Chains A and B, each alone.
Chain A
């Protein structure tokens, strides 16, 4: 759980935290750790406890039990200016003071964070909001607010970024631009904790992720590890020109499991780690094959696997 590189690189260490509201237990005994520079995704259905967990990580809520160490400080017990100065947060559906302009908004938060004024114009430029900077935030579209929100989160060059559903309200172009910025930020060894319900969007971007359900951490690890743990396999769709049985025999010989055969379409489940063996074997019958498509189990498949009661 602490990662291959050991405890020294841990920037967030969550130990057995729970949070109750009266009789309702929103978070139940969750433990995980995040290494410096990692992009860690938290996914789960609505009401799973993601927001409560996020608020506890940010020190906004005190856990009922357990400890949360951020940059070595127990934020569940101690309010730390130092930790907050090195943390950026972009809440879901961010709200600003509508009467302030984008520029004034960033200047206000820059002063609170102790960031130099020069950073504000750099960040406005980075998120493509320079031209609209003098307009009031109340006149902004949701996407524009989100971009100002990202700029706000990046003020003070944080070491940890908490992003709660960061692409909500962004158009596809905006989403692309957002992840480009995030790539640059990640290249600076910034640790990023991200929640998203658009699993397709994050599956190739996160280093590791935690799946939350019913207030519990159902699983954590890289997408590859989680796929393997669930026994999810790649599927190969083979479009056969002729002699379907010969192709089928080749697939079986390579260890493939025939999922279905409909007319000229052969669906083969590929055992983990034997994709190339299967491909080589099929290529021996290449003259009989019109096309081949590989399908990796998506993060959605992984999520559904755990949500349906997959083993941790």
Chain B
């Protein structure tokens, strides 16, 4: 494995995200979203003004669950299939770089784009919130940013898997829509359906397993179950008891969601003819 070759591909991908203003665009969206939520968070009560980090995290976590997956999926879905259609993949595969190095380089480059835009967007917003309403719960906000990055990377990993699964870009778009709907919207509806149908008599193990089967749910748990007041308010205090919902386990679950699609994608890519 050659770190030079991996970094060459990663730098090209990252520069591409800077050049096409993807990073600036996403940073702005995230910053504006965080500031707006913080400022207008109390508007239902007839108040405006910057709220603290705890209030911001609760509202932001719901929105980020919708937004970050689609951002990451659209960033990575055509990474390989787009190059194959554009005929640039054939040439690159005749170079002294193997498919693993190419695939990993692309993932690292695109990951850097997600990390930069998330840190910049939420970082700028966080600095303004801290200036206006103090630094209480700032560590929770930092962990929120970290978990948002991990959520982005998990969906980026899925996006790269999509990009090697299909031979046409149009089909990849179809898979992006499917994955987004499935993990962000349908999955929780099915989960609620199961709980209603079983009148809540579902084993703790199965319930935990189902929550771990969706990176978006892991993200929600990481943020909503981390602040005690929020945990109680959302009724999560009872269901998130136990080791399975401890922070290290939840982060571990997120890492698994980054790694398995990445590996699956690589094995598909390795077998794929160009």
With A82-B96, A97-B88 known, 8 other A-B pairs at CB within 8 A are: A55-B90, A60-B90, A60-B93, A79-B98, A97-B12, A109-B95, A112-B8, A112-B96
* Interface 0/1 of A62-100, CB less than 8 Å to B: 100000000000000001011011010101011111010
A147 at the interface (CB under 8 A from B): no
B16 contact set on A, CB distance < 8 A? 97, 99
B19 at the interface (CB under 8 A from A): yes
A47 at the interface (CB under 8 A from B): no
30 contacts between A and B (CB under 8 A): A55-B274, A60-B90, A60-B94, A62-B273, A79-B98, A81-B98, A82-B96, A85-B96, A87-B94, A89-B94, A91-B90, A93-B87, A94-B91, A95-B87, A95-B88, A95-B91, A96-B88, A99-B16, A99-B20, A108-B8, A108-B12, A109-B95, A111-B4, A112-B8, A112-B92, A112-B95, A112-B97, A113-B95, A152-B91, A162-B94
Residue of A nearest to B94 (CB): A89
B23 shortest CB reach to chain A, Å: 15
Q: Is the CB of A114 within 8 A of B96?
A: yes
B4 contact set on A, CB distance < 8 A? 111, 114
A85 contact set on B, CB distance < 8 A? 96
Residue of A nearest to B273 (CB): A61
A248 shortest CB reach to chain B, Å: 58
B174 at the interface (CB under 8 A from A): no
Q: Which of A55, A58, A84, A94 contacts B96 (CB 8 A)?
A: A84
A99 to B88, CA, bound (A): 13
Residue of B nearest to A82 (CB): B96
Tell me how many residues of A have a C-beta within 8 Å of chain B. Answer: 28
With contacts defined as CB atoms under 8 Å apart, how many contacts are there between chain A and chain B in the complex? 59
Interface residues in B3-51 by Cβ distance below 8 A to A read 4-5, 8-9, 12, 16, 19-20
Tell me how many residues of B have a C-beta within 8 Å of chain A. Answer: 22
Interface residues in A120-175 by Cβ distance below 8 A to B read 152, 162
B86 at the interface (CB under 8 A from A): yes
A89 to B91, CA, bound (A): 7
Q: Which of A55, A96, A112, A162 contacts B5 (CB 8 A)?
A: A112
Interface residues in B227-274 by Cβ distance below 8 A to A read 273-274
Q: Is the CB of A111 within 8 A of B8?
A: yes
A114 to B20, CA, bound (A): 27
A61 contact set on B, CB distance < 8 A? 273-274
Q: Is the CB of B91 within 8 A of A84?
A: no
Residue of A nearest to B98 (CB): A79
Q: Which of B9, B19, B97, B274 contacts A60 (CB 8 A)?
A: B274
Residue of B nearest to A156 (CB): B96
A148 shortest CB reach to chain B, Å: 12
A113 to B9, CA, bound (A): 12
Interface residues in B139-188 by Cβ distance below 8 A to A read none
A94 to B86, CA, bound (A): 10
Q: Which of B5, B12, B94 contacts A58 (CB 8 A)?
A: B94
